[in-house]
Chain A
Amino acid sequence: EAGVAQSPRYKIIEKRQSVAFWCNPISGHATLYWYQQILGQGPKLLIQFQNNGVVDDSQLPKDRFSAERLKGVDSTLKIQPAKLEDSAVYLCASSPGLAFPGELFFGEGSRLTVL
């Protein structure tokens, strides 16, 4: 079974530029999460989707971050304009559904460096 796929693995941009990250969850997984992991910290949830609807985006900086999951499968996370403090690893995770009591399955992450 294929795991969670993310791209690109690495991205370097100048501040005020834009960037987009893509995630393809495990086939059949209804719930998709985007986490931000700043160096030396634990991952922090940015947004959670159930199919193509948003469940939780309370910690998403909506003035610069946006995310979508149009067909309930792939998801894109966009940052525009980027700030220095956005330098982090962006982790995508999925699970079978909200009622699934077990673990989340993570991708390898996308490392963003903002100069």
Chain B
Amino acid sequence: AQTVTQSQPEMSVQEAETVTLSCTYDTSESDYYLFWYKQPPSRQMILVIRQEAYKQQNATENRFSVNFQKAAKSFSLKISDSQLGDAAMYFCAYRSLFTGGGNKLTFGTGTQLKVEL
């Protein structure tokens, strides 16, 4: 079974600064997807960014980028030019491409990001 570990329960960043959230995972599969989800206080999970394991190039979405290290099984999220609206719980998630397993999302425990003025 796959596991996802987020070792930072809380992080703080000053507005306009850059912050990096860490995530490691364990799997024996070679092909899979990794995601970062944002969960604001309203609780609806919103996709931030996704990475296909077969792609070596790190995904980027505007101010959000990832550092994907497949061999190290590491998948960190970098938020540049942090804004007050970035404050939320961030979850790292793994999804198998093996449909026989139902390809469900396996989540980490989350990192609460605070953005300070």
Contacts and interface: CB of A to CB of B under 8 A. Distances in A.
Interface string A18-53: 000000000000000100000011111100100000
A42 B108 contact: yes
Nearest to A3: B44
Contacts of A104: 45, 105
Interface string A99-115: 10111101111010000
Contacts of B95: 101
Interface of B: 4, 6, 33, 35, 37, 42-47, 50, 52, 91, 95, 97, 99, 101-110
A108 B43 contact: yes
Given A55-B102, A108-B43, A108-B44, A42 B107 contact: yes
Interface of A: 33, 40-45, 48, 55-56, 89, 91, 93, 98-99, 101-104, 106-109, 111
Contacts, number: 58
A43 B47 CA distance: 14
A101 B33 contact: yes
Given A101-B33, A109-B44, A41 B109 contact: yes
A45 B109 CA distance: 13
A68 B77 CA distance: 36
Contacts of A103: 35, 37, 47, 50
A109 B47 contact: no
B102 A56 contact: yes
Contacts of B101: 56
Nearest to A59: B104
B113 to A, nearest CB: 15
B35 A99 contact: no
A110 to B, nearest CB: 10
A48 B33 contact: no
